[in-house]
A and B are shown apart, each in its own frame.
Chain A
Amino acid sequence: MYKILRYSFYDLIRSKWCYIYFSFYLILSSVLLFLNNSLAKSIITLMNIIVILTPLIGSIFGAMYYYSSKEFAELLLAQPIKRNTVFLGQYIGLSLSLSASLVVGLAIPFIAYGMLISSEITNFISVIIIGVVLTFIFTAISYYIALSNEDKIKGIGLAILFWLLMAVIYDGFFLICLLALKEYPLENFSLFSVLLNPIDLSRILIILKLDIAALLGYTGAVFQGFFGKKIGMLIIASVLAFWIIIPIIMINIKSKKRDF
């Protein structure tokens, strides 16, 4: 598996999409720092972008990479290798290369700006970690979607639809629920619904980290109380881990089926 992972990783690292993705983040973070003139504000803006964009890119790339490297995968499958190592290797290679573009692209301008000696370093690191985790989650899901759909258009379409569901529609549905149930105490309900969606969870986590929580009134206090504790952090970490592990297990199961 390691060999396939390495091969996928180097293959992607050399591809032009990877460079485009890398330079996008490079330019984005340089422009943000240039325009905002402050690390703290840049990190907040960056967070807004990362929470939406990394899942989208992960979704599109995951599906696209599967379809474009399908022939190569078929070739590999003719060799005496386990089926799931081929697919898992490809998935991990892809996620790693996307994460590498993200991390390096963001880190260079911020380090050049003097982030390492500022107090914002922990916030920056948490933004980066969240970006990487979201990349892993959404790449896995779209890879699974691609694996289960022969049709390229359908696969990419479903992957984007899933992103749309998580990034936009879920929040809309959540808001409708809140409106419908507004006579009831809703702190625990909102806490629970945030836990179910990795994008919302990441957004709240960063908002709390960046200390805007106190501005959120009573609900903010409830969230701070929950996420501030060790057990809360543990729950978040495990929820995010589940979001990676479950699609991987599904990829595993799917890849065992010998339909090509």
Chain B
Amino acid sequence: MKSLLTTIICLFSINIISSSVIIVCKKCDISNISTAIDKAKNHDTIIIKNGTYYEFDIEINKPIKIIGEQSIIDAQFKGGGFNIQSDSVYLSSLKINNIKRSYTKDIASIVAYKADHFLIENIEFNNPFFAIFIQKSQNGIIRNNIINGANNDVLNSGNGIHLWNSKNMEIENNKIINMRDGIYLEFVSAAKINNNVSEKNLRYGLHFMFSNDNKFSNNIFINNGAGVAVMFSKNIIMQSNRFENNWGASSYGLLLKEIYDAKIENNYFYQNTIGITVEGSNRINYNHNIFKQNGWATKISGGCYENIFTENDYLNNAFDLSYKGRQNDNVFVGNYWSNYVGYDLNEDGVGDVAFMPVKLFSYIVNSIPEAITLHRSLFVELINFSEKVAPIFTPKYIMDKEPKIKPMNYAVN
């Protein structure tokens, strides 16, 4: 037993001692990153000195550390950047520029395939096709990266951070600008996506499908083509995110499609054409969100059951709620509605009259979108009023029986 222990310790120390540092620079013996990787043994460190290296499709097939000094790797549109095929790879402090475009292959600045325990940090991606493309990998960390796309149409562009069939990923503090989708997840589970900024992306700021048990918090999604799309997933937690200025013909802050058992809390929706649009999603808790100055704060299409909206603030939206379908199994309770005109005689902070968030006009606009041209017209105000007094068309069963008198401001951060 003792001898075994000593051998293990010996083995480890040999391993530690044997890991060496290889320096790459323009005037060194090794002036080329690929040769450095070839010469390196497992767990060596390669330091890439400042400078510009014109290389592409660099393969990393052993566990090594590659550390740059903001050194530039320019692929000159001839291929991709790094191709990670090994576990335990560490990449940091580099600039990877000018990746080749392709219509048949998903070429990226960093590709990882079946590579576990990687760490990618402090890397700046300029003009990538895809920036980070991870497949079938686990336990990776992607943090503090900046991705600057130069894209102007959806067909020619790739995603910022693209994960496929992966587990336990952490994506933190990245900034993604002007890609197709900022962050794209497909078949990814147990990912933590925190503090990222996704801006001016052509399609979605964040897009994920078939990805269960993920958590998104403190992210900012601004000015994206169509905000954030979340589809076909279970057990999602979305907390304290900001969805702003996602404007356009059919644009929205957040799209939920076939989502089950999610929590959407403390998020801030500001000036989106549609704050949240929900289709076929069940058992979702919407708590403590703020919807401010959106066209439609929430748009619920058919097939949504057992959703609960509590303690949200609806502030100055053109329409607070638009609802399709005859049945309602969703609960609205204890929200603040800036359009509420009731009173509170016993002064407990809860209005004494129920609030009906679906206006007749929003019902009309739902079936004829062009009727929106009558927005703010006197006639519309009149029919809204008469409908409020005696509801005929709008669903009577959608109401908040305990509307708050003052906004709660939970999501202000």
**A74 contacts chain B at the CB level, 8 A cutoff:** no
The answer on a CB contact under 8 Å between A215 and B368 is: no
On chain B, the residues within 8 Å of A179 by CB distance are: 364, 368
A136-169 vs B, Cβ < 8 Å mask (1 yes, 0 no): 0000000000000000000000000000000111
Closest residue of chain A to B318 (Cβ to Cβ) is: A215
**A218 contacts chain B at the CB level, 8 A cutoff:** yes
User: Which of B249, B364, B376, B378 contacts A167, CB < 8 Å?
Assistant: B378
User: Which of A41, A194, A214 contacts B273, CB < 8 Å?
Assistant: A214
> Shortest Cβ distance from A179 into chain B, in angstroms?
7
Contacts A174-B374, A214-B248 hold; do A219 and B379 have CB atoms under 8 A apart?
Answer: no
The answer on a CB contact under 8 Å between A219 and B374 is: no
**B250 contacts chain A at the CB level, 8 A cutoff:** yes
The answer on a CB contact under 8 Å between A178 and B379 is: no
The answer on a CB contact under 8 Å between B273 and A215 is: yes
- Stretch with Cβ within 8 A of B (4 or more), from A6-14, A110-118, A124-132, A200-208: A200-208
The answer on a CB contact under 8 Å between B370 and A178 is: yes
**B369 contacts chain A at the CB level, 8 A cutoff:** yes
On chain B, the residues within 8 Å of A172 by CB distance are: 379
> Shortest Cβ distance from B175 into chain A, in angstroms?
25
**A23 contacts chain B at the CB level, 8 A cutoff:** no
**A20 contacts chain B at the CB level, 8 A cutoff:** no
**B266 contacts chain A at the CB level, 8 A cutoff:** no
Contacts A217-B273, A218-B249 hold; do A187 and B370 have CB atoms under 8 A apart?
Answer: yes
The answer on a CB contact under 8 Å between B368 and A216 is: no
The answer on a CB contact under 8 Å between B378 and A219 is: no
Complexed CA–CA distance, A194 and B273 (Å): 22
Contacts A203-B376, A221-B249 hold; do A212 and B318 have CB atoms under 8 A apart?
Answer: yes
Closest residue of chain A to B245 (Cβ to Cβ) is: A214
On chain A, the residues within 8 Å of B370 by CB distance are: 178, 186-187, 189-190, 219
Closest residue of chain B to A171 (Cβ to Cβ) is: B379
Complexed CA–CA distance, A222 and B369 (Å): 12
Residue in A169, A204, A217 with the greatest tally of chain B CB atoms within 10 Å: A217
User: Which of B271, B364, B372, B378 contacts A217, CB < 8 Å?
Assistant: B372
Complexed CA–CA distance, A178 and B372 (Å): 11
Complexed CA–CA distance, A220 and B318 (Å): 14
**A91 contacts chain B at the CB level, 8 A cutoff:** no
Closest residue of chain A to B371 (Cβ to Cβ) is: A178
**A22 contacts chain B at the CB level, 8 A cutoff:** no
Which residues of chain B from 234 to 273 have a CB within 8 Å of any chain A CB? 247-250, 271, 273
**B382 contacts chain A at the CB level, 8 A cutoff:** yes
**A175 contacts chain B at the CB level, 8 A cutoff:** yes
**B16 contacts chain A at the CB level, 8 A cutoff:** no
Closest residue of chain B to A170 (Cβ to Cβ) is: B379
**A61 contacts chain B at the CB level, 8 A cutoff:** no
Complexed CA–CA distance, A189 and B369 (Å): 13
> Shortest Cβ distance from A117 into chain B, in angstroms?
24
Complexed CA–CA distance, A218 and B271 (Å): 16
User: Which of A48, A168, A189, A219 contacts B372, CB < 8 Å?
Assistant: A219
Residue in B248, B249, B318, B382 with the greatest tally of chain A CB atoms within 10 Å: B249
User: Which of B248, B373, B379 contacts A204, CB < 8 Å?
Assistant: B373
The answer on a CB contact under 8 Å between A215 and B294 is: yes
On chain B, the residues within 8 Å of A204 by CB distance are: 373
On chain B, the residues within 8 Å of A182 by CB distance are: 367-368
**B377 contacts chain A at the CB level, 8 A cutoff:** yes
Complexed CA–CA distance, A59 and B250 (Å): 41
Complexed CA–CA distance, A194 and B375 (Å): 12
A30-71 vs B, Cβ < 8 Å mask (1 yes, 0 no): 000000000001000001100010000000000000000000
On chain B, the residues within 8 Å of A41 by CB distance are: 316
**B295 contacts chain A at the CB level, 8 A cutoff:** yes
On chain A, the residues within 8 Å of B30 by CB distance are: none
**A243 contacts chain B at the CB level, 8 A cutoff:** no
Which residues of chain B from 349 to 385 have a CB within 8 Å of any chain A CB? 364, 367-380, 382
On chain B, the residues within 8 Å of A186 by CB distance are: 368, 370
Complexed CA–CA distance, A167 and B374 (Å): 11
> Shortest Cβ distance from B338 into chain A, in angstroms?
11
16 pairs, A vs B, C-beta closer than 8 Å: A172-B379, A175-B374, A178-B371, A179-B368, A190-B373, A194-B373, A200-B374, A203-B377, A212-B295, A214-B295, A215-B295, A217-B273, A217-B372, A218-B249, A219-B372, A221-B249
Sample of 7 more A-B contacts, CB < 8 Å, known A171-B374, A172-B379, A178-B368 = A167-B379, A168-B382, A175-B379, A189-B370, A203-B377, A214-B295, A215-B273
- Listed in ascending order, the chain B residues whose CB lies under 8 Å from chain A are 247-250, 271, 273, 294-295, 316, 318, 364, 367-380, 382
